[in-house]
Amino acid sequence: MPDFRSDTVTQPTAAMRAAMLAAPLGDDVFGDDPSVNALQAHAAGLLGFEAALFAPSGTQTNLIALMGHCQRGDEAIVGQNWHTYRWEGGGMAVLGSIQPQPVEHQPDGTLALADIAAAIKPDDPHFARTRLVVLENTTGGRVLPTPYVAQVAQLARSRGLGMHLDGARLFNAAMANAEANGTGVYDEARALCGHFDTVSLCLSKGLGAPVGSLLLGSHDFIARARRTRKMLGGGMRQAGMLAAAGQHALEHHVERLAEDHALLRRLAEGLAQAGRSHPVLAGRLTVASAHTNILFADVQADVAPAFTAWLAAHGVRVTSGLYAGQTRLRWVTHLDVSAADVEAALDCVQRFAG
């Protein structure tokens, strides 16, 4: 059975492994690993930035960006559920001495413009200095609307603030827009980045590389970021084997994200059907949201323990947590989930007897 817990569980394909083995290597701390340099140049050009920096993780590229935009005692406006605030160990405060100013989310995953504006502090020594607005796209699998991102950017610029994007699943957002608009996924990705000073892009989620993220920005910003990466322990030596995997992912695994989105729609359809007509799950299982490659389904408390145990016993791996008195299951489709895997998981759901 497949692993639906996250798109971080993907394994390198045979072609990616071959690219890794063939990668020319150097010492990236000295700046002479040709594979790392090629990846950074390729990604920067692809997404419309002057430069890029390869680092071990998205947690680190986000933190490097925050520390580049903000100094000690400065503040960044974030969403309550953004990874930069909730899921990255508090690094912006602990290591960056940056005050996070969280803002509540709207039902569609956005932050209300009025709430962002209200969170910006006046120039007064009583307050931390607001320096940055952080967005996340996708967020919980949802794509932030393009006009909304433009409005946030306009607000930020009018107040002299920087803009950073946690684009861990940037290409999932770009693919959703490309499917909706009949456009190219790379063009959509470049457009999504256009409103931001810096972008963090994860290579090891839907794109299927084993390790690594990129930080994109101006030449000057990335030069400072390289120093911060070293301070945080992210300087690697012969990192070209990892960079080659990322390069392969950008060239070969972006357009196939449409397959993951289609499989998620099939999964959502099957779970919703079980929530309507299954002898035990009818009225007890609800698809809460299904966007791009991430689906959340809520299971009522009276049946949730037995249902989650059933899935686990039959090898269907999902993550779960409590939400509003119910158990919320998180399903993620990715490179290593096939159509047959989805059908097998749905068959397992149908065979649940309570």
Is residue 19 pLDDT above 90, yes or no?
yes
H or E, element range at 52? strand 51-55
Q: What is the pLDDT of residue 180?
A: 96
CB 85 within 8 A of CB 231: no
Q: Which residues contact 94 (CB under 8 A, 6 or more apart)?
A: none
- Residue range 86-136, pLDDT digits in tens: 999 999 999 999 999 999 999 999 999 999 999 999 999 999 999 999 999
| pLDDT tens track for 192-224 | 999 999 999 999 999 999 999 999 999 999 999
* Mean pLDDT confidence for 286-297: 97
Residue 322 DSSP class: E
Output the pLDDT for position 64.
Answer: 98
pLDDT, averaged across the chain: 97
pLDDT at 354 (0 to 100): 80
Q: What number is the average pLDDT over the span 51-72?
A: 98
- pLDDT, tens digit (0-9, with 9 covering 90-100), for 253-274: 999 999 999 999 999 999 999 9
Q: Which residues contact 40 (CB under 8 A, 6 or more apart)?
A: 51, 52, 53, 54, 214, 243
135 closest CA partner among 202, 99, 84? 84
How large is the average pLDDT for residues 310-325?
A: 95
Q: What's the whole-number mean pLDDT along residues 147-165? A: 98
**Which structure tokens are listed for 290?**
């299904």
In the chain the domains, ranked by start, together with CATH numbers, are: 14-252 (3.40.640.10), 256-351 (3.90.1150.10)
What is the structure's pLDDT at 2? 85
* pLDDT, mean of residues 219-232: 98
Contacts of 125 (CB under 8 A, 6+ apart): none
First to last CA, the chain: 21
| Token pair listed for 226 | 């390289």
Residue 1 has pLDDT above 80, yes or no: no
7's CB contacts (< 8 A; 6+ apart) are 169, 205, 206, 208, 260, 293, 332, 333, 334, 335
pTM, two decimals, is 0.96
What pLDDT shows up at residue 133? 98
